[in-house]
Amino acid sequence: MTEGNGRVPTDIVKRAIKPSVPSSELMTPGHLACQGCAATLSMRYALKGLGSETVLVIPACCWTVLAGPAPRSAVGVPLLHAPFAAAAATACGVKAGLRARGDQTTQVVAWAGDGGTFDIGLQSLSGAAERNEDIIYVCYDNEAYMNTGIQRSGGTPAHAWTMTTPGSSGSDLPKKDLDAILRAHHIPYMATATVAYPEDMVRKFSKARQIKGFRFIHILSPCPPGWKTEPDQTVRLSRLAVQTGLFMVYEVEQGKMRLSVPVPKRKPVGEYLAGQGRFKNFTPADVEAVQKSVDESWARLADEKA
Amino acid sequence: MKKVLMGNHAAAMGAMLAKVDVVSAYPITPQTQVVEFLAEQKAKGAFAGQYLKVESEHSAMAELLGAATAGARCFTATSSQGLAYMHELLHWVAGARLPVVMVDVNRALAAPWNLWTDQSDSLSQRDTGWMQFYCSTNQEVLDTVIMAYRIAEEVHLPAMVVLDGFTLSHTYEPVDIPDAERVDAFLPRYAPSQILDTKTPLSFGALAQPKEYFRLRRRMAADMKRAEDVIMTVGRDFGESFGRRYGLFDAYRCDDADAILVTSGAVGCTAKAAVDALREKGYAAGNLRLRVFRPFPADALAAFVRPGIPLAVIDRDYSPGGTGIWFEEIKAALYSREVRPPVYGFIAGLGGGDITSELLQEAWLKTLSGRAAEAEASWVEDAR
Amino acid sequence: METAMPELSRDPLQFPETIVSDRSMAENLTGNWRSLRPVIDAARCTGCLICWKFCPEACVKLTDKVPLIDLAYCKGCGICVRECPPKAMSQQGEAGL
């Protein structure tokens, strides 16, 4: 182990600041994620909140690869790799199998990307949510099929460039409102989170593990190669997505929605869109359209509250 | 205890006696009573396992993938489109070497819609790595479900127990229900060594390199081969415990036969009647009913056939562009052998058409006289 | 054929049935992916732990003093440098080190 600059300072003998998230690590270094990957940060925070009494079920997604090939694993909890369309069902089965062994407490967590959630896994997800199965379902949403090399998914924002939405206008379809679909299942707990707010994410996972029934956590997960951004921008973009109001960080308990990260004064969406290669063809009109849709969704939220 | 049971209830009874921990299923005609019966027994408190309802067959088998990896004994049942929809998971569960047992109630595949018996659904899952057992009576269905768990858990491969839609599934027959304690003695609790357990965090199914993958599949092939002996041993043990012995196939009046019908499933019973009828007419007919399709009992079959005694293979299935599936398998199994009798194929009863004693007699007579085309199977229909 | 491929003549029942992961990816050192090295200026470091918190490799170690970046794993993404509140971190090209 090498220190950043090799010099040991003498003036900071005792650290005054305590870690704001648990210091235990269940995700190991050495994983195969790209530089600046938010999916690894998400897993790191999730496991801090969940603890070691957790079983992960991972369908085809970036985590299939980055957890490492056999006989190694980048997580210190049991992991079952599952077919693309079947994360939720496989997780329900694991829960049943554990129950059959008399284990009522271990948390079973389906951990899927946006493709495995918005698209191919939606039927299985909806079934498990509707039956209020006792699992936690996590979607780390990097807004396209990144593991297969950046193809459009139902989670891809309008006009974003992907390999299957080439050309100057990108995808002409809006991002599917998955959260609304999940809310319509009236599950005991759902939340959104993103990596710029680790304390919030860890808290939501710790809270989710205390709740019985179906729990859903939607994570916005910036992807440097897929978004065509520099790896060091990951946390900044995650923060900007929240500060511009594009991604609302909230939780819904027993149908009641509460913002976890209030945004009293929203930054213009242009700050988030600029610098992302996937939006580089955006015209001022495109930016305006995004701004309009963000303003509208916040206005709707205000109406709901009123 | 003897009871008059429909085939679907016999299957469910087998699963209950096997004390399965987890049932996950989705309804499809003609399988429905298998899972309805289990749901009812669960509601009455007579079934201690978990009964999980899912939104599709794909999810049903995915749940069993999860539950079996967590160490549970698992059961499901399906038919036709449901089995086809499960296809991806069948490969997965076999590759994961999980001893899941599933009942498939044969039904033809669409299009067009058809509800009746046809082995194309199960036979088209040939290459998934599942053992396949074909039953001819409701008694055999119940017994085979119990035996399937012992075989599957010994060779670490999943098993499909197949019965004919309606012909067996909805037909009532007297069935001897084995005593639960004796079944417990015959079938020990499932105790896999590596499971999902937070005390020993293992990961299952992670990427394997070509060399590792090749060896895993080679091992699977060796276990499939080994399963032939295990099926024989378990069938013999079952006979000792319950008085009904099972093997890889069931030969009826074959010893002195001049030609032999080769059948599977409920047609095997009709074939016995056809053999008796032919014998009454003075013909030396026999019937060989194959019980096991995977592993295909090629060595046992090669040892059984005699030079110059032709086989009349009846297929209630069809591989488009190929021919009858049992017919192809049997020819492939015998091609490189010293004793290689003529093999004739007959495709009959697709989509649930009757395969009558008369039709079977006609096939047998054509085979005896060498009038059946040898290269490809003849399509035969009941005259009515 | 089998003499040319000795592995194939082994009893296939000796091959494993399944392959499970019981070892850690921490055995896989990813430090050689890095082209830019994060460097901490100890004089400016306030010990706020932001670099530790935002490390996607979980390779920044907590100490009583300045955090330790485990260069055996650091892929050089630069998030720690970008997020460091007192701007106590910089990136240096590996080639020049």
CB contact under 8 A, A40 and C62: no
Tell me, yes or no, whether A25 lies in a domain.
Answer: no
- The residue among A116, A108, A113, A114 whose CA lies nearest residue A136 is A108
Structural contact between residues A157 and A175, judged by C-beta atoms closer than 8 angstroms: yes
Of chain A, the percentage scoring pLDDT greater than 70 comes to 95
- Chain C nearest C-alpha distance from B192 (Å): 13
Strand (E) or helix (H) holding B123: helix B120-123
pLDDT at residue A8 above 50? no
Averaged pLDDT, B199-220: 96
- Chain A nearest C-alpha distance from C8 (Å): 22
Q: For residues B328 and B350, give the distance between their C-alpha atoms in angstroms, rounded to a whole number.
A: 17
Per-residue pLDDT band at B298 (split at 50, 70, 90): very high
Tell me, yes or no, whether A1 lies in a domain.
Answer: no
Question: Is residue B152 located within the same domain as residue B262?
Answer: no
ipTM: 0.96
Q: For residues A164 and B86, give the distance between their C-alpha atoms in angstroms, rounded to a whole number.
A: 29
Per-residue pLDDT band at A150 (split at 50, 70, 90): very high
Q: Chain A contacts of B50, Cβ < 8 Å?
A: 96, 99-100
- Which residue, chain included where needed, has tokens 């973009």? A237
Take residue A97 and report the two structure tokens written for it: 């199998």
CB contact under 8 A, A35 and C33: yes
Burial code of C49-74, b = ≥16 C-beta within 10 A, e = fewer? bbbbbbbbbbbbeeeebbbbbbbbbb
The count of CB pairs under 8 A between chains A and B is 163
pLDDT of residue C7: 60
Structural contact between residues B265 and B116, judged by C-beta atoms closer than 8 angstroms: no
Residue A209: phi, psi to the nearest 5?
Answer: -70, -15
pLDDT of residue A172: 80
pLDDT of residue B376: 75
> For the segment C28-53, what is each residue's pLDDT rounded down to a tens digit?
999 999 999 999 999 999 999 999 99
Q: Does A305 touch chain C (CB under 8 A)?
A: no
> For the segment A67-97, what is each residue's pLDDT rounded down to a tens digit?
999 999 999 999 999 999 999 999 999 999 9
Structural contact between residues B314 and B263, judged by C-beta atoms closer than 8 angstroms: yes
| B76, β-bridge pairs | B102
CA-to-CA dists, residue A287 to A142, A171, A291, A301, angstroms: 20, 15, 6, 21
- The residue among A190, A145, A7, A93 whose CA lies nearest residue B100 is A93
Strand (E) or helix (H) holding B24: strand B22-25
pLDDT at residue A1 above 60? no
Question: Is residue B228 located within the same domain as residue B274?
Answer: no
Q: Does B218 touch chain C (CB under 8 A)?
A: yes
> For the segment A237-271, what is each residue's pLDDT rounded down to a tens digit?
999 999 999 999 999 998 899 999 999 999 999 99
Domain boundary among B242, B269, B293: B242
Structural contact between residues A232 and A74, judged by C-beta atoms closer than 8 angstroms: no
Q: For residues A287 and A148, give the distance between their C-alpha atoms in angstroms, rounded to a whole number.
A: 28
Any idea what the CATH number is for the domain that residue B362 is in?
Answer: 3.40.50.920
Question: Is residue B209 located within the same domain as residue B319?
Answer: no
Per-residue pLDDT band at B381 (split at 50, 70, 90): confident
AA identity, residue B14: G
Question: Which chain B residue lies closest to C23 (C-alpha atoms)?
Answer: B202
pLDDT at residue C88 above 80? yes
Any idea what the CATH number is for the domain that residue C32 is in?
Answer: 3.30.70.20
The count of CB pairs under 8 A between chains B and C is 44
Averaged pLDDT, B41-66: 97
Q: Chain B contacts of C9, Cβ < 8 Å?
A: none
Q: Does B216 touch chain C (CB under 8 A)?
A: yes
Take residue A124 and report the two structure tokens written for it: 């299985």
Domain boundary among B242, B265, B292: B242
Q: Chain B contacts of C16, Cβ < 8 Å?
A: 215-216, 219
Tell me, yes or no, whether C66 lies in a domain.
Answer: yes
Tell me, yes or no, whether C12 lies in a domain.
Answer: no
Domain boundary among B217, B242, B267: B242
Q: With a threshold of 0.90, does the pTM exceed it?
A: yes
Q: Which domain holds residue B108?
A: 2-242
Tell me, yes or no, whether A148 lies in a domain.
Answer: yes
pLDDT of residue A160: 92
Strands A136-141 and A215-220: parallel
pLDDT of residue B169: 98
Question: Is residue B223 located within the same domain as residue B90?
Answer: yes
Residue B307: phi, psi to the nearest 5?
Answer: -60, 135
Q: Which domain holds residue C89?
A: 28-96
pLDDT of residue A105: 96
Any idea what the CATH number is for the domain that residue A133 is in?
Answer: 3.40.50.970
Averaged pLDDT, B279-308: 98
Tell me, yes or no, whether C9 lies in a domain.
Answer: no
B190 Cβ contact partners less than 8 Å away, ≥ 6 residues apart: B21, B71, B72, B73, B99, B149, B153
Q: Chain C contacts of A4, Cβ < 8 Å?
A: 38-40, 66-69, 89
Question: Is residue B237 located within the same domain as residue B337?
Answer: no
Residue B8: phi, psi to the nearest 5?
Answer: -65, -40
Per-residue pLDDT band at A4 (split at 50, 70, 90): very low
Lowest model confidence (mean pLDDT) among A280-289, B154-163, B231-240: A280-289
3-state secondary structure (DSSP) of residue A67: coil
Question: Is residue B29 located within the same domain as residue B55?
Answer: yes
- The residue among B268, B358, B269 whose CA lies nearest residue B314 is B268
Averaged pLDDT, B197-218: 96
Query: Both ends of chain B: CA-CA distance in Å?
Result: 40
Averaged pLDDT, A282-302: 93
Q: Which domain holds residue A197?
A: 38-305
Q: For residues C79 and C70, give the distance between their C-alpha atoms in angstroms, rounded to a whole number.
A: 15
Q: What is the CA radius of gyration of chain B?
A: 20
Q: Chain A contacts of C54, Cβ < 8 Å?
A: 41, 195, 198, 235
Tell me, yes or no, whether C7 lies in a domain.
Answer: no
Question: Is residue B232 located within the same domain as residue B272?
Answer: no
pLDDT of residue C8: 62
Q: In sequence order, which ranges of chain A are alpha helices (DSSP H)? A: 38-50, 62-66, 87-100, 122-130, 178-183, 198-210, 224-227, 234-243, 270-273, 284-305
3-state secondary structure (DSSP) of residue C13: helix
How many domains is chain A built from?
A: 1
Residue A138: phi, psi to the nearest 5?
Answer: -115, 130
pLDDT of residue B370: 87
pLDDT at residue C1 above 50? no
Q: Chain B contacts of C17, Cβ < 8 Å?
A: 97, 156, 216, 219-220, 223
Per-residue pLDDT band at A3 (split at 50, 70, 90): very low
Question: Which chain A residue lies closest to B53 (C-alpha atoms)?
Answer: A131
pLDDT of residue B297: 98
Q: Does B198 touch chain A (CB under 8 A)?
A: yes
Give the rounded distance of the alpha carbon of B347 from its chain centre: 19
Take residue B239 and report the two structure tokens written for it: 């006979």
Q: Chain A contacts of C48, Cβ < 8 Å?
A: 17
pLDDT of residue B69: 98
Q: For residues B342 and A136, give the distance between their C-alpha atoms in angstroms, rounded to a whole number.
A: 60
- The residue among B85, B59, B136, B95 whose CA lies nearest residue B290 is B136
pLDDT mean across residues, chain A: 93
Q: Does B216 touch chain A (CB under 8 A)?
A: no
CB contact under 8 A, C64 and A15: yes
pLDDT of residue C6: 54
DSSP B221: H
> For the segment B111-125, what is each residue's pLDDT rounded down to a tens digit?
999 999 999 999 999
Give the rounded distance of the alpha carbon of A166 from its chain centre: 25
pLDDT of residue A6: 35
Which of C20, C21, C73, C92 to mutate to test binding with chain A, by most A CBs within 10 Å of its CB?
Answer: C21
DSSP A33: P
- Chain C nearest C-alpha distance from A91 (Å): 18
Structural contact between residues B303 and B252, judged by C-beta atoms closer than 8 angstroms: no
How many domains is chain C built from?
A: 1
Tell me, yes or no, whether A8 lies in a domain.
Answer: no
pLDDT of residue B347: 97
Q: For residues A19 and C60, give the distance between their C-alpha atoms in angstroms, rounded to a whole number.
A: 13
Q: Chain B contacts of C18, Cβ < 8 Å?
A: 96-97, 194, 204, 216
Tell me, yes or no, whether C16 lies in a domain.
Answer: no
Q: For residues A297 and B144, give the distance between their C-alpha atoms in angstroms, rounded to a whole number.
A: 59
> For the segment B305-325, what is each residue's pLDDT rounded down to a tens digit?
999 999 999 999 999 999 999
Tell me, yes or no, whether A12 lies in a domain.
Answer: no
pLDDT at residue C62 above 90? no
Other CB atoms within 10 Å distance of the CB of residue A63: 28
- Which residue, chain included where needed, has tokens 């998400």? A42
Strand (E) or helix (H) holding B186: helix B180-186
CA-to-CA dists, residue A167 to A87, A159, A226, A279, angstroms: 33, 10, 16, 11
pLDDT at residue B230 above 80? yes
Q: For residues B186 and B182, give the distance between their C-alpha atoms in angstroms, rounded to a whole number.
A: 6
Strand (E) or helix (H) holding A219: strand A215-220
pLDDT at residue C23 above 60? yes
Take residue A197 and report the two structure tokens written for it: 């707010």
pLDDT at residue B138 above 50? yes
CB contact under 8 A, B203 and C21: yes
Q: For residues B274 and B287, give the distance between their C-alpha atoms in angstroms, rounded to a whole number.
A: 9
Tell me, yes or no, whether A24 lies in a domain.
Answer: no
